[in-house]
Amino acid sequence: MTTEAADPVDAAAIAPAADAGFLQRYGAEIEYILIPGAALVAALLVFGVFVALFGKNPLDLYWYMYYGAFGTWFSWQNTLSRAAPLILTALCTALPAQLGMVIIGGEGALLIGALSATSVALALQGMPPLVVQIAMVIAGMTGGGLWILLSGGLRQYRGVNETISSLLLVYIALAILNHLVEGPMRDPASLNKPSTREIGAANMIGTIPGTDVHWGLVFGLILAIASYVLIYHTTFGFAARVAGGNIRAAKIVGLSVGKLILTVCFLAGACAGLAGMVEVAAVQGRTNANLAVGYGFTGILVAFLARQNPLAIIPVAILLGGINASGGLLQRRLGLPDASVLVLQGIIFISVLASDALYGRIGFLKGKS
């Protein structure tokens, strides 16, 4: 237990906040729960003041947020269904972060994953559902994986900044999706909302028995735990963390940094691609522009709030999923625009990043950021 408790410290040391590589102080694990927690509370307070400026009662806001996210079994199920893609897209940012890379293109990998999964499902119509579903998982993960691999490869072989390339690839993925959905892959019956044909009810992955929560949540949990094991309990993960801490040291000890970067980027993209597959096979049943609702971008926030730790991503994704889920209630009961959720997410993100300054209160990186 003690070794595991120390692990989040390593995760933080490798998080992008530490781009200059500093000595981590051990013995303050509690900081890693306390500080993000305090940042979250501060963000909620700021958001309360913000809505108060628009004449809404902040206490009502907090109550509806709680009620819409975790108040009833119905809202819990809604929250968990939304948390599933967030876990997967957060992994898309958290895995490369172990190598010191900032990948923010999870949305693009999600869209490509959804397209690949849909294409395979449409090609395999008539096959047994299990075969189709497995093929969809493989196609979604491969599609998303290759998409982020592109960013990793460009970084490795051409020195192209992976943050910018992955974000540009989001817009390119969206254009490809729109092109295919309105052109070659369009279902002629979809008039108002251009979509592909449906993958068929039999091929949907359905819900966990006794709930309305789809199986995507289980996929997310499995991949988050697998990522945790991979990073903290395998040689591969150790090598990745060494390379993330000090790339020169990693090269000196003979690590193949290029191979690490490419593998991690593929795995990261595969996670987001699976999120796309899940959204198709559990929610939408087809591919259309509805998929681009920002799960990829919220996933970045989840990863940073969880300090890039795959296990911490699970509760944080549920929390953010809850905030997303309560958006509808805020709209109906308080008359707040649907963008309130975006504002709150932005405030949380800023507050969490600013709270990085509080760790250990040692300011020798001052001016270097």
Residues that bind other proteins (CB under 8 A): 16-19, 22, 102, 104, 154, 156-161, 163-165, 167-172, 174-176, 178-179, 182-183, 297, 300-301, 304, 337-347, 349-350, 353-354, 356-357, 359, 362-369
Closer residue to other proteins, CB minimum distance, 276 or 296: 296
Strands, E, within the chain: which ranges? none
Closer residue to other proteins, CB minimum distance, 172 or 221: 172
- What is the separation of C-alpha 138 from the centre of its chain, rounded to a whole number of angstroms? 19
Tracing tokens 């900081």 back to the chain, one arrives at 31
Closer residue to other proteins, CB minimum distance, 129 or 194: 194
Closer residue to other proteins, CB minimum distance, 136 or 149: 149
CB atoms within 10 A of CB 353: 15
- Give the residue from 172, 184, 163, 194 showing the smallest Cα distance to 112: 172
CB of 266 to other proteins, least distance (A): 19
Among the residues of 54-105, which ranges form H helices? 58-66, 73-97
- What is the separation of C-alpha 10 from the centre of its chain, rounded to a whole number of angstroms? 20
User: Which tokens go with 293?
Assistant: 């609702």
User: Which tokens go with 225?
Assistant: 């735990």
Closer residue to other proteins, CB minimum distance, 77 or 326: 326
| In contact, 286 and 280? CB cutoff 8 Å | yes
CB of 361 to other proteins, least distance (A): 8
CB of 256 to other proteins, least distance (A): 15
CB of 102 to other proteins, least distance (A): 5
Closer residue to other proteins, CB minimum distance, 116 or 133: 116
Closer residue to other proteins, CB minimum distance, 35 or 311: 35
Q: Identify the three-state secondary structure at position 22.
A: coil
CB atoms within 10 A of CB 264: 27
CB of 366 to other proteins, least distance (A): 5
What is the spatial distance between Cα 224 and Cα 359, in angstroms, rounded to a whole number?
25
| In contact, 21 and 364? CB cutoff 8 Å | no
What is the spatial distance between Cα 279 and Cα 277, in angstroms, rounded to a whole number?
5
